[in-house]
């Protein structure tokens, strides 16, 4: 089963939080937590936490370099 959640964190900044996850029974199989910033051209990704490669990772995004190399965090 999957679920999707989106919340406006700060209207004046245009900061959004998006969460997607899939479960099997009570176990979370995959997830992504994304911090976005709304700009004139759409939404720009700031940070992503996910388990896309089977372990917890954090990705930073910059305007100049885009997606940076992932960093592992808490098991």
CA distances from 16 to 23, 33, 42, 55, 63 (A): 23, 11, 12, 24, 17
pLDDT at 30 > cutoff 80: yes
- Domain span including residue 28: 2-72
Domains of the chain: total: 1
pLDDT at 74 > cutoff 80: no
Question: CA–CA separation, 38 vs 44, rounded Å?
Answer: 6
pLDDT at 40 > cutoff 80: yes
Structure-block tokens of residue 48: 């992503």
pLDDT at 41 > cutoff 90: no
Q: Residue 44's beta-bridge partner residues?
A: 37
| 73 in Cβ contact with 58 (< 8 Å) | yes
pLDDT at 27 > cutoff 80: yes
Instruction: Please state, rounded to an integer, the average pLDDT across all residues of the chain.
Output: 90
């Amino acid at each position: 089963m999957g679920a999707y959640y989106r919340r406006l964190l700060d209207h004046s900044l245009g900061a959004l939080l998006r969460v997607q996850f899939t479960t099997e029974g009570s176990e979370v199989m995959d997830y992504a937590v994304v911090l976005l910033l709304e700009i004139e051209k759409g939404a720009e990704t700031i940070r992503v936490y996910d388990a896309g490669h089977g372990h917890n990772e954090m990705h930073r995004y910059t305007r100049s370099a885009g997606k940076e190399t992932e960093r592992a965090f808490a098991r």
